Amino acid sequence: MPNGTSPTSPPTPQQIFTDLSAALTGFDRAELAGTGLVDTYYDTLLRIIGEREAGQLLRAAAEALETDRRHHGNEALEAELIDSPRFGPVVVSLIKLWYLGSWYPLSGRYRDVSGSTADDVEHVVSAQGYREGLVWAAAGAHPMGAKPPGFGSWAEPPYLPPTL
Amino acid sequence: MSNEHFDLVIVGGGIAAATVAKTVVEKAAAEYPARHPRILILEAGRATAMSADKYDTYVEAYQEALIKVPNSPYPASSSAPQPDVLDIRRPVMEGRQTKTPADQGYFVQMGPLPFGSDYARSLGGTTLHWLGTCLRMLPHDFRMYSTYRRGVDWPLTYEELKPYYERAEWDIIGVAANVDDQYYPGFVDHPAEFFKAADTVRFPGGGYSFPMERIPSSYLDQYLAKLADGMTISLTGRDGTVHDFTVRISNTPSARNSTPTTPTYEVVGAVGNADRGQRCEGNSSCIPICPAQAKYSALKTLYELIVRYPDREPVQGEQVRARVAVRSQSVVMEVLHTQKPGETGTVTGLRYKTYYDDGNPPTEHRVTAGTYVLAANAIENATLLLASGAANNSDQVGRNLMDHPLLLTWGLLQENVGAFRGPGSTSGIPVFRDGPFRKERTAFRVEIGNWGWNFPENAPYDTVHDLVGGGRDGRARLYGKDLRRRLGEILPRQFRIAWELEQDPQSTNRVTVDDRYRDALGKHRPVLHYDLSEYVRASLPWAAEASKQLFRRLGIDETQRRPVYEPGDYTHYDPHDASAVEYDGMTYWVRGAGHVVGTHRMGDDPRSSVVDSHQHSHDLDNLYIVGCGSMPTLGTSNPTLTMTALAIRTGDRIAQDLKGAGR
């Protein structure tokens, strides 16, 4: 197997991060991999909430995603992450990071409990992050100032994938 | 202090400067005997980028910018600061008196309203981030006083300026449009008459064509045309007269590369890489930066000049040519002259400072020339003249500052129209640009925006924040496929219109200088006094009402507000916004359009104008003051094309006057 993994070995933190990102964004793993930003955003998460907290979040995510996979639903993700006072705010910032390429700071209420890191300020992670923001694909458009669709494309009827 | 001499020195490195330089060089070479002037261009900001790879770094800077305002890709030094729309605050007023000026940024805003526009201080100037709209002014725009008893007449008519419009469209900017698409009031059924060519050598028989075909109208434009073309918008005048306006969506001429209309027209691509930017690619970011350089910027003309006319002695056997030197980071501090108040005089030199930003202090220089041109932007020209006590016998320098106060209206359409695709705007509704109503209220241009709610609601960012949530409860409202699907339902249906009002000249809207306000080099910062006249304000309810009638036709007249997203009219104006304007008990937001005009108006009478129709100073015999500042009235056209036409006319005159200058 590539990367020395086997179907039975536990997923790596990066794999959990990718699966969580897919569940949170509605873009599948291939689409996320296509942005080239999985590693960058994984590092961003660790840098901003700290490795220990990120480890806890990913552990909770792995369990919730596994439970939901068995039950073909998303109840565990809702209960353990979305509704969690501990992880919910991080999830919000993570969704925005994927969609907009910018990190949006965690709330004061989150920081009251968990503290904050110096990097937890609003910033554009990178120009690539901006260009690969999922919001543009969700809109059926392209990032303003990048990936131009060609002369006259704007005169054509818009297109969004129908399978969603 | 070093001292050098040139035939012509131009202050400023934007489109007006580039146009004058190119025109002078080419005209003078065609004179008999041919002359080859040596020209210096002094740019206060940095030399932006003269190769495609360096230009790309500005694109990257835009992509990395947290807030993508027009000046975000272009860094400025504290030695040549530039205005930024993020600095716009409202000064605190006590009645008509300024209690606390708003001086956070470069401008010192004295109010009562803040001046809402910016410009770029970098080589290439504000054409680095202009939209590229290239509408000519209408015949009545030049005769506002004679026709409507408003403002003043120009010392030029449309017919007189027409040959220069043609040259601006062909020889400097490169404009893409089809004559048949231009439904201007007075010429709705016969646009060819409005465009009947002045240059019958280039256009035998007078049938005009632009150098490039139209930039295709967006899918949104087509959707609006399908629903609204031919509808009547009725607006009521003060005396109860009903004015009917028939809507026709009209493709807008633009400075964007497209398909040439004749094989002899050579499309100008990116600086230093002509293969790039040969046609608009749909980057959807004309403002703040066109990544492909398919949109014209003055860098293109400046690049051509420094490549063709390098500032060096000709090597042996080489033909004698003009020489053009560009010096950036060189801020002109003072126009030296012999003028005494009430008398005429001569410019004797320019004092400028070159700054380094590397820890070393700036150096001071003096330069002399046969002819001097100020082309540094309307506000910069006025500031420099006022600080120098020059060219102001008329007391009009700095006065009559104008913009296109802009009212936004926005809604969510019933159908997916593919917003966020294509140039910022590809069409407008020209019907409100002229008519008898201009006696009592100002005309306006209607610009249809292709980028959703990017301008009024910071979309797509704020749309994502609305849907994803966070904030107080810290919980994601929407995520996963539901989020993706919902964004696909909302974003491509976002739609906005800009109603750009003609501002009339008011002597109290003015640029002044005050020794208390200076930048890091010690140069005066512009101190601005600004308001909207009753004449302008009276069009706010008209624009708002026209928008309501149009939105009704589109089936989106129901009032809605974020974070709810349903088809409807989302237009709203918060009275606490810095741009809030009250009129007749209603609040509106009036934004700047980036059209900085007035401040050194042209006219035949030296008592009431600063320059003549050639932009030649009435007071200083070897000084030309060029740019949008010379425009006595603004009309409803974005002013760059008209400024370029005027600069060509000035260039012709300077070339004739060079006499024995040059070699």
Interchain proximity B464–A148, CB inside 8 Å: no
| Residue B577 tokens, joined | 């916004």
Shortest Cα distance from B286 to chain A (angstroms)?
A: 8
Has residue A62 been placed in a domain? Answer: yes
- The Cα–Cα gap between B536 and B178 comes to 31
Interchain proximity B60–A26, CB inside 8 Å: no
The interface predicted TM-score (ipTM) is: 0.96
Strand partners, B429: B446
* The CA-based dihedral angle spanning residues B190, B193, B195, B200, taken in that order and rounded to the nearest 10 degrees: 140
| B48 — pLDDT class (breaks 50, 70, 90) | confident
The string of DSSP codes covering B48-104 is --SSHHHHHHHHHHHHH-SS--TTTTS---TTS----GGG--PPEEETTEEEE-B-S
Q: In this predicted model, what pLDDT tens digit does every residue of B511-524 receive, in sequence order?
A: 999 999 999 999 99
| Residue B459 tokens, joined | 């979309």
- The Cα–Cα gap between B598 and B596 comes to 7
| Residues of B in Cβ contact (< 8 Å) with A155 | 216-219, 222, 422
Q: What's the rounded mean pLDDT across residues B236-262?
A: 97
On average, the pLDDT of chain B sits at 96
The string of DSSP codes covering B538-582 is TTHHHHHHHHHHHHHHTT--SB--TT---SEE-----TTSTTEEE
The string of DSSP codes covering B590-633 is -B--S--B-SS-B-S-TTT-SB-TT-BBSSBTTEEE-SGGG-S-
Interchain proximity A158–B417, CB inside 8 Å: yes
End-to-end CA distance of chain A: 31
pLDDT score of B560 more than 60: yes
Q: In this predicted model, what pLDDT tens digit does every residue of B71-126 receive, in sequence order?
A: 999 999 999 999 999 999 999 999 999 999 999 999 999 999 999 999 999 999 99
CB B390 within 8 A of CB B662: no
pLDDT score of B660 more than 60: no
Residue of B68, B218, B289 lying closest to A155 (CB–CB): B218
B59, B434, B445 from B234: Cα distances, Å: 44, 15, 16
Q: In this predicted model, what pLDDT tens digit does every residue of B409-437 receive, in sequence order?
A: 999 999 999 999 999 999 999 999 999 99
- HEC states along B282-339? CCCCCCCCCCCCCECCHHHHHHHHHHHCCCCCCCCCCCCCCEEEEECCEEEEEEEECC
pLDDT at A1: 41
Interchain proximity A135–B487, CB inside 8 Å: yes
Number of independent structural domains in chain A: 1
Closest CA to B68 of B629, B479, B451: B451
- The Cα–Cα gap between B196 and B206 comes to 5
Has residue A151 been placed in a domain? Answer: no
Only one residue has tokens 């009947």, namely B196
Three-state DSSP class for residue A128: helix
Shortest Cα distance from A17 to chain B (angstroms)?
A: 14
pTM confidence score? 0.97
| A72 — pLDDT class (breaks 50, 70, 90) | very high
Only one residue has tokens 């004058």, namely B20
| Residues of B in Cβ contact (< 8 Å) with A124 | 63-66
| Residues of A in Cβ contact (< 8 Å) with B283 | 144-146, 148
Q: Which amino acid is present at B639?
A: P
Tally of CB atoms within 10 A around B404: 29
A102 touches chain B (CB under 8 A): yes
| Residues of B in Cβ contact (< 8 Å) with A76 | none
User: Domain coordinates of chain B in residue numbers?
Assistant: 1-87+119-171+296-402+507-530+596-663, 216-252+406-502+533-589
Tally of CB atoms within 10 A around B338: 11
The count of C-alpha atoms lying within 13 angstroms of the C-alpha of B228, restricted to the half-sphere facing its C-beta, is: 27
Q: What's the rounded mean pLDDT across residues B199-212?
A: 96
Residue of A26, A88, A136 lying closest to B474 (CB–CB): A88
Q: Which CATH number fits domain B1-87+119-171+296-402+507-530+596-663: 1.20.120.80, 3.50.50.60, 3.40.190.10, 3.40.50.150?
A: 3.50.50.60
Closest CA to B366 of B37, B42, B20, B39: B42
Cα–Cα–Cα angle for B584, B587, B588, nearest 5°?
115
Has residue A63 been placed in a domain? Answer: yes
Helix axes A38-49, A88-100, angle to 10 degrees: 140
Interchain proximity A88–B423, CB inside 8 Å: no
The whole-angstrom distance between residue B239's C-alpha and the CA centroid of its chain comes to 35
| A108 — pLDDT class (breaks 50, 70, 90) | confident
Residue of A95, A150, A153 lying closest to B476 (CB–CB): A95
- The Cα–Cα gap between B529 and A116 comes to 45
| A164 — pLDDT class (breaks 50, 70, 90) | low
Q: Which domain holds residue A51?
A: 12-143
Three-state DSSP class for residue B216: coil
Residues in contact with B489: Cβ distance below 8 Å, sequence separation at least 6, in sequence order: B416, B565
- The Cα–Cα gap between B533 and B440 comes to 12
| A9 — pLDDT class (breaks 50, 70, 90) | confident
Interchain proximity B285–A145, CB inside 8 Å: yes
Per DSSP (E only), the strands in B181-249 are 232-236, 242-246
Residue B611's φ and ψ, nearest 5 degrees, are -130, 165
Residue of B60, B450, B471 lying closest to A127 (CB–CB): B60
pLDDT score of B471 more than 90: no
| Residues of A in Cβ contact (< 8 Å) with B70 | none
pLDDT score of B300 more than 80: yes
Pairing of strands B406-412, B494-501: antiparallel
B219 touches chain A (CB under 8 A): yes
Residue of B65, B219, B476 lying closest to A157 (CB–CB): B219
Q: In this predicted model, what pLDDT tens digit does every residue of B137-192 receive, in sequence order?
A: 999 999 999 999 999 999 999 999 999 999 999 999 999 999 999 999 999 999 99
Q: In this predicted model, what pLDDT tens digit does every residue of B600-630 receive, in sequence order?
A: 999 999 999 999 999 999 999 999 999 999 9
pLDDT at A161: 82
| Residues of B in Cβ contact (< 8 Å) with A134 | 484
Three-state DSSP class for residue B390: coil
Has residue A157 been placed in a domain? Answer: no
Q: Length of chain A in residues, anyone?
A: 164
- The Cα–Cα gap between B3 and B216 comes to 52
CB B176 within 8 A of CB B258: yes
- HEC states along B105-170? CCCEEEEECCCCCCCCCECCHHHHCCCCECCCCCHHHHEHHHHHCCCCECCCCHHHHHHHHHHHHH
Tally of CB atoms within 10 A around A109: 14
The residue of chain A with its CA nearest to that of B65 is A124
Alpha helices in chain A (DSSP H): 13-25, 29-34, 38-49, 51-71, 75-77, 88-100, 108-114, 127-131, 134-138
A86 touches chain B (CB under 8 A): no
Looking at residue B513, the DSSP 8-state letter turns out to be -
pLDDT score of B659 more than 80: no
pLDDT at B49: 85
- The Cα–Cα gap between B645 and B615 comes to 12
Residues 353-392 of B with CB under 8 A from A: none
Looking at residue A79, the DSSP 8-state letter turns out to be I
Has residue A46 been placed in a domain? Answer: yes
Strand partners, A150: none
B65 touches chain A (CB under 8 A): yes
The whole-angstrom distance between residue B369's C-alpha and the CA centroid of its chain comes to 29
